[in-house]
């Protein structure tokens, strides 16, 4: 198992509430030139060729795996080898069930990777605004969303 120093929260930068999927992110990452290592891909999620995140949380609160935890991610330059990446579908607002799934996922990862810091992409790369909320404040505040950052899903491409 890799040593994990950071649990990094991201957003997909798609319209708030839009029902994007992990397959969409996989396609976007492939278009940007990301590629998964063939060894890992052959053993875990072989249909996903490029997704850089370890987890993706969709607007309906479903948690999808991208890369296996031992696989180095492609989600935050300079930190991939010692971090886990979680992507929330959306930009600045997320559905109530996404927030609940994020809390559950982060809590489980913190138990597994004791001492790992929970940060947003922005904390590791100031040129980014991702994930559209202040992760340390959210985390230190008990992992509860601010009411103004909750949205309703836009299903079926709405």
pLDDT value of position 72 = 97
- Among 130, 137, 62, 52, smallest CA distance to 91 is for 130
Phi, psi of 103 (to 5 degrees): -60, -50
For the chain, give every domain's residue range.
Answer: 6-149
pLDDT of residue 146: 82
For the domain bounded by 6-149, which CATH number is listed?
3.40.80.10
pLDDT of residue 153: 81
Provide the pLDDT for residue 156.
57
Residue 57 β-bridge partners: 63, 88
* Residue carrying the six token digits 């505040």: 141
* pLDDT (0 to 100) of residue 29: 98
What's the CA angle centered on 70, arms 36 and 141, to 5 degrees? Answer: 105
| Start-to-end C-alpha separation, the chain | 41
Mean pLDDT in order along the chain per 10 residues (158 residues): 96 95 97 96 97 97 97 97 98 96 98 98 93 95 91 69
* H/E segment holding residue 44: none
What DSSP state is assigned to residue 15? Answer: P
Output the pTM of the full model: 0.95
Q: Is 147 left (phi over 0), alpha (psi -120 to 50) or beta?
A: alpha
Do residues 90 and 12 make contact, with C-beta atoms less than 8 angstroms apart? yes
């Amino acid at each position: 198992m890799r040593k994990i120093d950071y649990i990094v929260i991201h957003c997909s930068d798609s319209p708030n509430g839009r029902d994007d999927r992990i397959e969409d992110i996989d396609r976007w990452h492939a278009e940007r030139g990301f590629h998964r290592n063939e060894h890992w891909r052959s053993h875990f999620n072989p249909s996903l060729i490029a997704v850089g995140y370890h987890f993706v949380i969709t607007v309906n609160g479903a948690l999808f795996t991208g890369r296996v935890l031992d696989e180095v991610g492609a989600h935050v330059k300079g930190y991939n080898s010692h971090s886990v990446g979680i992507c929330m579908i959306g930009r600045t607002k997320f559905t109530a069930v996404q927030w609940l799934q994020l809390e559950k996922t982060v809590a489980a990862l913190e138990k597994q990777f004791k001492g790992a810091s929970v940060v947003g992409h922005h904390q590791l790369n100031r040129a980014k605004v991702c994930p559209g909320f202040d992760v340390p404040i959210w985390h230190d505040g008990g992992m509860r969303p601010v009411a103004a950052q909750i949205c309703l899903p836009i299903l079926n491409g709405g």
